[in-house]
């Protein structure tokens, strides 16, 4: 049996994940709106043999007044699905994954867009399902307030099953294209969904054919109880924010057990915690790279970013004082709990907390030589905390180049990472099975799946 190897995603963010990355003299200007810059980063990740590039997204700008926002780099960027469509034409192997919200979109639109990307890329697409974390997004969609969390997740579950059903509209061999008989497709191999549920009524079928990998890979990142259940039921890759190995192991064990409870094979769900890594040829060189960026954090930016992540305005509190009590709201998410717990556990001031999350935003951070970084990744991978990692480069392309030049060879030397892509589709490279095209069957909970879509009755 082949040795188990870790999977790697590359979390794109121009010009890097650290909030001060754009201030470096060598940072590219207008990186968020530059196709050339983003193509360079994606192609670099492919040369490093990453499984996928991943782009997160929100449907709006962070809350805050214009003076505060004027110091933030990430307020305008190319919509990521459009960017991934461009990547499909200039890459051959790397997976193409981005975020789209179930709260502010429709299942048919999502199904059609990602199926199209999957077809045009030869089976390399993935959809990161989110319910939208920012309450401010509601104001861009004719709403006065964000939906309550429980409502968002009920909608998201139904949304996911409708999309999965639409992706099974066509059997693999539906298109016979018999020119002599004048038969383009076999009628029995086309399936209407006819879904009627709490939030959606969708007839189908989808007007996009099946791709070589069956359908796009389902990705999810929820860490709350609702989020874990949704991921365990529907996701094939789970991005996680677990800042310590103990939390990583606990999350891994819990979610894998939930996967099994939904009648799915735990190996068919890859858990990939986020990791921000500053890498140098020595520990001292890596620390110098980290300290250089930390010195460029403007206090107003640090406080605003932290305020936005915990959904509570901290600007009126002393920056070198403790984090005040943070009220729970109906739209709070697991990231709020993670950051508040981090501050309480480590007795951090507001300044220390925003400095701690300036790049990783609650993901675990590594600073060191290739050997020390590889040691930590190996420990997480081999002791039940991860199936791989979603790498957050502090700067791009600089930190990504460091990781590829220094860490990847060390992982390969240890037999922990590939030396060539295993296949041409994202599923092949992740080691995930191709989903069945369409058949009448029953889920583990007894819910009938008719025409490959989940009914809501």
Residue 291: the pLDDT is 94
User: Over 60: is that where the pLDDT of 401 sits?
Assistant: yes
Residue 130: the pLDDT is 95
User: Over 80: is that where the pLDDT of 441 sits?
Assistant: no
Alpha carbon distance 185, 170 (integer Å)? 10
Residue 356: the pLDDT is 84
User: Over 90: is that where the pLDDT of 321 sits?
Assistant: yes
Confidence of residue 331 (pLDDT cuts 50, 70, 90): low
User: Over 60: is that where the pLDDT of 446 sits?
Assistant: no
The better pLDDT of the pair 348, 369 is held by 369
Confidence of residue 49 (pLDDT cuts 50, 70, 90): very high
User: Over 70: is that where the pLDDT of 333 sits?
Assistant: no
Residue 444: the pLDDT is 33
User: Over 90: is that where the pLDDT of 203 sits?
Assistant: yes
Residue pair 411/6 in contact by the 8 Å Cβ criterion:
yes
pLDDT in tens, 140-198: 999 888 889 899 999 999 999 999 999 999 999 999 999 999 999 999 999 999 999 99
Cα-Cα-Cα-Cα dihedral sign, residues 178, 182, 188, 189: positive
Residue 442: the pLDDT is 34
Q: What percent of the chain has pLDDT over 70?
A: 94
Specify the range with the lowest mean pLDDT, choosing from 106-110, 157-161, 300-304, 356-360: 356-360
Residue 63: the pLDDT is 67
Q: What is the mean pLDDT of residues 383-405?
A: 98
Confidence of residue 310 (pLDDT cuts 50, 70, 90): confident
Cα-Cα-Cα-Cα dihedral sign, residues 334, 238, 251, 274: negative
Q: What is the mean pLDDT of residues 19-39?
A: 94
Residue 329: the pLDDT is 66
Domains in the chain, start-ordered, CATH in brackets? 7-278+363-454 (3.20.20.30), 298-357 (no CATH)
Q: What is the mean pLDDT of residues 377-388?
A: 98
Confidence of residue 449 (pLDDT cuts 50, 70, 90): very low
**Going by C-beta distance under 8 Å and a sequence separation of 6 or more, which residues neighbour residue 27?**
15, 16, 21, 395
The better pLDDT of the pair 142, 61 is held by 142
Confidence of residue 346 (pLDDT cuts 50, 70, 90): confident
**Going by C-beta distance under 8 Å and a sequence separation of 6 or more, which residues neighbour residue 210?**
167, 170, 171, 172, 174, 437
pLDDT in tens, 259-272: 999 999 999 999 99
Specify the range with the lowest mean pLDDT, choosing from 7-16, 32-41, 55-64: 55-64
pLDDT in tens, 79-137: 999 999 999 999 999 999 999 999 999 999 999 999 999 999 999 999 999 998 777 88
Helix (H), strand (E), coil (C) string for the chain = CCCCCCEEEEEECCCCCCCCHHHCCCCCCCHHHCHHHHHHHHHHHHHCCCCEEEECCCCCCCCCCHHHHCCCCCCCCCCHHHHHHHHHHHCCCCEEEEEEECCCCCHHHHHHHHHHHHHHCCCCEEEEEECCCCHHHHHHCCCCCCCCHHHHHHHHHHHHHHHHHHCCCECCCCCCCECCCCECCCHHHECCCCEECCCCEECCCCCCCCECCECCEEEECCCCHHHHHHHHHHCCEEEECCCCHHHHHHHHHHHHHHHHHCCCCHHHCEEEEEEEEEECCCHHHHHHHHHHHHCCCCHHHHHHHHHHHHCCCCCCCCCCCECCCCCCCCCCCHHHHHHHHHHHHHCCEHHHHHHHCCCCCCCEEEEECHHHHHHHHHHHHHCCCCCEEEEECCCCCHHHHHHHHHHHHHHHHCCCCCCCCCCCCHHHHHCCCCCCCCCCEECCCCCEEECCEECCC
Confidence of residue 439 (pLDDT cuts 50, 70, 90): low
User: Over 90: is that where the pLDDT of 78 sits?
Assistant: yes
Residue 304: the pLDDT is 85
């Amino acid at each position: 049996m082949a040795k188990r190897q870790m999977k790697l995603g590359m979390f794109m963010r121009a010009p890097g994940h650290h909030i001060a990355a754009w201030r470096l003299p060598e940072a590219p200007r207008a990186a968020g709106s530059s196709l050339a810059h983003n193509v360079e980063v994606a192609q670099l990740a492919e040369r490093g043999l990453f499984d996928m590039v991943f782009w997160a997204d929100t449907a709006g700008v962070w809350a805050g007044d214009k003076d505060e926002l004027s110091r933030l780099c990430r307020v305008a960027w190319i919509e990521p699905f459009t960017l991934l469509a461009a990547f499909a034409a200039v890459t051959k192997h790397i997976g193409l994954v981005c975020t789209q919200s179930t709260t502010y979109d429709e299942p048919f639109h999502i199904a059609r867009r990602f199926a199209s990307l999957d077809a045009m890329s030869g089976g390399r697409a993935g959809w990161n399902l989110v319910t939208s974390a920012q309450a401010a997004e509601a104001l861009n969609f004719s709403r006065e307030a964000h939906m309550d969390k429980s409502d968002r997740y009920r909608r998201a579950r139904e949304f996911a099953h409708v999309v999965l059903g639409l992706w099974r509209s066509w059997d693999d061999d539906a298109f016979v294209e018999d020119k002599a008989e004048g038969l383009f497709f076999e009628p029995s191999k086309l399936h209407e969904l006819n879904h009627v549920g709490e939030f959606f009524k969708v007839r189908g079928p989808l007007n996009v054919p099946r791709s070589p990998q069956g359908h796009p890979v389902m990705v999810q990142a929820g860490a709350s109880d609702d989020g874990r259940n949704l991921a365990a039921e529907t996701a094939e890759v789970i991005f996680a924010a677990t800042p310590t190995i103990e939390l990583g192991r606990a999350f891994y064990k819990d979610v894998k057990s939930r996967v099994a409870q939904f009648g799915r094979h735990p190996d068919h769900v890859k858990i990939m915690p986020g990791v921000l890594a500053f890498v140098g040829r020595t520990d001292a060189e890596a620390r110098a790279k980290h300290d250089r960026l930390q010195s460029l954090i403007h206090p107003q930016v640090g406080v605003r970013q932290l305020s936005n992540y915990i959904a509570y305005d901290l600007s009126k509190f002393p920056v070198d004082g403790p984090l005040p009590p943070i009220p729970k709201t109906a739209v709070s998410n697991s990231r709020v709990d993670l950051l508040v717990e981090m501050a309480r556990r480590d007795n951090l001031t507001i300044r220390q907390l925003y400095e701690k999350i300036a790049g990783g935003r609650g993901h675990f951070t590594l600073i060191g030589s290739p050997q020390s970084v590889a040691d930590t990744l190996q420990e997480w991978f081999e002791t039940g905390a991860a199936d791989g990692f979603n790498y957050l480069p502090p700067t791009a392309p600089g930190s990504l180049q460091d990781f590829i030049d220094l860490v990847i060879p060390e992982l390969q030397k240890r037999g922990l990472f590939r030396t060539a892509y295993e296949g041409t589709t994202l599923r092949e490279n992740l080691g995930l099975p191709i989903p069945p095209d369409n058949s009448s069957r029953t889920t583990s909970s007894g819910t009938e799946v008719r025409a490959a879509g989940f009914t809501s009755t």
